Structure 1
Amino acid sequence: MTYDPMYDLIPAHFAHELSGRPSMGYVSGEDWIDDLPGLIADLLAEWELEPIGRPSSGVCAVVIPVRLLGAGRDVVGVSGEGVLKITWPHPEAATEHLALQAWNGHGAVRLVRADPSRFALLLERLHTRDLSNVDIDDACGVIGDLLRVLRRPAHPRMPSLTAYALRQADELRAAPPVLPRRYLDQAAALATELAERPAEERLLHTDLHYTNVLAAYRSPWLAIDPKPMAGDSAFEVAPALWNRTDELGTGSQVRWSLRRRLEIICERAGIDEGRARAWTIVREADNAVAAAAGASGDATSQAHARDQVSLAVTIIKAMND
């Protein structure tokens, strides 16, 4: 096989992880990785981009620092630098460009160019520093402030949170008892109630946690990597509770820490705490059921699923107390 220099722009661990992904309505991870070098080369040529740094990756996307040689330099600033983000096609990423267009750089990374058919985005370049090492109260304050800034009318093409809630109500009622049955029944009842008594629909990020907020050149902090939906802003709080869990403490301190995070975010974002607690219970029950269903037979996968279920129980208890 002829060596393709574009392979150097694909982190090896990312290629390995993606290769095992089944198709989610588009293309399998293995087939997409096989085609990725050609896709990178095409985008660099068509958008007049020059790679200038070490590529990075998340769970589903490769990010390549680039210098803009043609259109878009006025958007990214005097450095002329941006990042090319190419995502493995899956439903959650299909409307990312629409959310970024709606925010237009206010509270979120600025979109320079997009090719939705190839799940490719050209974005302004941010710092690599995130909220992981920022004091937890301050970090929650930043997330609350960003949620307020990001509040926009719902885009008509966004997936509906109400539809999600109704599906979850049915799935949680039918789920095996991976959680105590009372928690599954409670989450199903809350999902139904939240769907039947919807709040004003807003454009939602849905995955705003400590590593999805980066320091920027033009603003202290900006959100990245949305998984957009349209619905109740109270749905947004949960990811800040299930991340940085090693800092929750032990015993009774865990409940206090979780409720403190929720209180700070809701106050700064103008979100109703009761609805945020209810949505968190629904989301954590969903996480637990998904983790148990997705566990394979190996010990590492089983241990991860048990940890996720245990965390769900801890957070649901804290939201109920």
Structure 2
Amino acid sequence: MIVVPEEFARSTIDREGEAGVAWLVQLPLLVDELLGRWQCAPDGEVMHGGVGVIVPVRRRSGESAVVKVSFPHPGNVHEPDAFVAWGGRGAVRLHERDDERFAMLLERARSTTLAEVEDGDEVAAVAGRLNRRLAVPAPPGLPRLSTRAGAWEAGLREDADRLSHAMPRRVLDAAVDTVRVLGREQPDVLVHGDLHARNILRAEREPWLAVDPKGYAGDPAYDGGTLLKSRALALVGADDLRGAAGRVLDVFAEAAELDRERVRRWAQFHAVQAAFWGRRHGFRVARDGPRLDSLTEFAERLAGVLTEGL
């Protein structure tokens, strides 16, 4: 049976409590059952993301693949639906699925992510091209991003009132306006929903393939903000934040063949949300202390820069 990585077990228990403990106890047996049913043999060290384990395997045919098992969560429900709709177009292929157990047998990509590429223009261009290829008609049954607009607006207003922050009113108003203008009426297009650089992997079949989609129907420009958030640490030391952020959005929008202003507005909304998230929960790279304060202040500054237009 597999050995669950300690870091993954610890973070799952911290996040999910007793439900996480119970799931982790059953996880090795669950993976064994899936390997038997899908006729796979372990073929490497167990890896993990934020909410699931990834087990490298060999199929009976000799083809390499991975078994991914995620902690049951509403945000993971439509991941296999997105893979089916893409059929390997810009994303890893789905071979098998067990929706009840939140498990999939997927094409194996490399462990190298787009986040490891030093050339910022290449990162934005690759993400933009994938965004364009993934923008196919949304299959029935996917959650619509437009249905989240009311909660987005309410959340922004609540955070603005309750949290200590340094964002001027015009910055908050711009984010709310984006929700009202772009958020409530969106196209019926499949959106990855979390297209940041760590969710784009080197591969054999294509140079880069997307993984870990949320699977929404909505505006492809939404993921321009997701990408910019993933580039934030690379922009922290920029002498000209306006120019650096503008360059990311320019390259992404051109490669994705999207309206640049639409991408900017979604990016500004994401930046405001990120600033509030940092105030409430911290960030993955900093949960507290001076580092968190610095990153939160940077998110607020980035939101301000994006509000003025680029």
Taking structure 1 as the reference length, the TM-score comes to 0.87
- The equivalent position to 1:29 in structure 2, one of 7, 17, 20, is 20
1:114-133 counterparts in 2 under 5 A? 114-133=97-116
Alpha-carbon distance in 2 for matches of 1:290, 1:109: 30
Equivalent residue, structure 1, for 2:176? 188
Cα drift, residue 300 of structure 1: 4.2
> Which stretches in structure 2 are left out of the alignment for 5+ residues?
none
Q: Take 2:168 and 2:287, find their aligned partners in 1: how far apart are those partners?
A: 26
Deviations 1:262-285 (A, max 9, x none): 010101111111111111222222
In structure 1, list runs of 5 or more residues that go unmatched. 74-78
Describe the superposition over 1:167-192 as per-residue Cα deviations: whole angstroms up to 9, x where unpaired. 11112112224432513333223212
* 1:314 correspondence with 2:301: yes
Work out whether 1:156 is the aligned partner of 2:147. no
Judge which range, 42-51 or 90-99, deviates more.
42-51
Of the candidates 238, 256, 262, which is equivalent to residue 249 of structure 2? 262
- RMSD over equivalenced CA pairs, Å: 2.1
Shift of 1:138: 1.1
Is the 8 Å Cα contact of residues 178 and 289 (structure 1) preserved in structure 2? no
1:246, 1:287 → 2: CA distance?
A: 13
Alignment counterpart, residue 120 of structure 2, candidates 128, 136, 152: 136
2:191 to 204, 211, 226: 204
Q: Which amino acid aligns with 2:6?
A: A
Q: Distance in 1 between matches of 2:187 and 2:282?
A: 36
Between 227-236 and 186-195, report the one with greater CA deviation. Answer: 186-195
**What is the CA-CA distance between 1:252 and the residue it aligns to?**
4.5
* Counterpart pick for 2:12 among 18, 34, 38: 18
Alpha carbons of 1:50 and 1:281: their partners in 2 closer, same or farther (altered >3 Å)?
Answer: same
1:39 corresponds, among 19, 27, 30, to 30
- How far off its partner does 1:226 sit? 0.8
Q: What aligned pairs does 1:159-308 form with structure 2 within 5 A after superposition?
A: 159-175=143-159, 176-179=162-165, 180=167, 182=169, 183-196=171-184, 198-248=185-235, 250=237, 252-294=239-281, 300-301=287-288, 305-308=292-295
Residues 58-95 of structure 1: CA deviation (Å, up to 9, x unaligned): 111110100112xxx4xxxxx41100011111121110
* Seq. identity, %: 33
State the distance in 2 between where 1:170 and 1:147 align.
28
1:15 Cα offset (Å): 0.8
Cα distance between partner residues in 1 of 2:127 and 2:287 = 32
User: Structure 1 residues 96, 167: CA separation in 2 closer, same or farther (over 3 Å shift)?
Assistant: same
Offset of residue 96 of structure 1: 0.1
**How far apart, CA to CA, are the structure 2 residues paired with 1:309 and 1:86?**
32
**Aligned equivalents of 2:45, 2:58: Cα separation in 1:** 13
1:56: which partner in 2?
Answer: 47
Distance in 1, matches of 2:292 and 2:226, equals 17
Q: Are 1:259 and 1:318, in contact at CA under 8 Å, matched by a contact in 2?
A: no
Q: Say which structure, 1 or 2, has more relative contact order (CA 8 Å, 6+ apart).
A: 2
Code of the aligned partner of 1:64: V
Query: CA offsets per residue over residues 215-266 of structure 1, 9 Å max, x none?
Result: 1111111111112211111101012212233332646422211110101010
Q: Secondary structure in 2 aligned to 1:138?
A: helix
Q: Which amino acid aligns with 1:18?
A: T
Secondary structure at 1:86 match in 2: strand
| Structure 2 CA distance for partners of 1:83 and 1:304, relative to 1, 3 Å | farther
Structure 1 ranges of 4+ moved more than 4 A: 302-305
After the TM superposition, which of the residue ranges 305-314 and 278-287 deviates more from structure 2? Answer: 305-314
Contact 1:178 1:309 in 2 (8 A): no
Equivalents in 2 of 1:249, 1:293: separation in Å?
21
1:155–1:312 Cα change, 3 Å: farther
Q: TM-score, normalised by structure 2?
A: 0.90
How many pairs does the alignment contain?
301
- Aligned amino acid, residue 111 of structure 1: L
- Give me the whole-angstrom Cα distance separating, in 2, the residues matched to 1:307 and 1:94: 35
